[in-house]
């Protein structure tokens, strides 16, 4: 399972070897200034991901990789979503080398991670 690391300057997402292979992506490092907030993702969040470019998808089981969705509410999403795990949805601003508008990451305790990320934003 991916490891989320919060530093004073960045939100880092460290992927396991299997996640790197299935997501066709390496670790992510997002500047803290681009993090807008986090919440617990709904179990149906996979329906909002859009077109997988590139990555791995097994319908209703797992979606790993980069996803593009057109339209006003669209944009790039990086996902490590699994059906049997709760997920945290991290909203981002684009720019400064970051193309993703959100991250959808499977974690053991999504509510704790959402609260931790939101608390870190407030304390800045």
Grade residue 123 by pLDDT with cuts at 50, 70 and 90. confident
**46 CB-contact burial (10 Å; exposed 0-12 / middle 13-18 / buried 19+):** buried
Mean pLDDT over all residues of the chain? 93
Using an 8 Å Cβ cutoff, are 77 and 69 in contact? yes
Average pLDDT of the segment spanning 13-36: 95
pTM value is 0.93
pLDDT value of residue 124: 60
pLDDT value of residue 73: 79
List pLDDT tens digits, range 44-101: 999 999 999 999 999 889 999 999 999 887 899 999 999 999 999 999 998 777 899 9
Residues in contact with 120: Cβ distance below 8 Å, sequence separation at least 6, in sequence order: 6, 32
Residues listed for the chain: 124
Place of tokens 């059906």: 83
């Amino acid at each position: 399972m991916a490891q989320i690391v919060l530093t004073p300057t960045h939100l880092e997402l460290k992927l396991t070897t299997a996640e790197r292979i299935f997501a066709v992506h390496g670790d992510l490092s997002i500047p803290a200034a681009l993090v807008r907030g986090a919440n617990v993702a709904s179990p149906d969040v996979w329906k909002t991901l859009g077109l997988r470019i590139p990555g791995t998808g097994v319908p209703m089981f797992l979606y790993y990789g980069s996803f593009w969705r057109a339209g006003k509410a669209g944009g790039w999403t990086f996902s490590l979503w699994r059906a049997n795990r709760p997920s945290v949805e991290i909203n981002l601003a684009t720019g400064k080398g970051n193309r993703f508008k959100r991250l959808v990451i499977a974690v053991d305790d999504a509510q704790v991670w959402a609260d931790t990320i939101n608390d870190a934003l407030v304390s800045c």
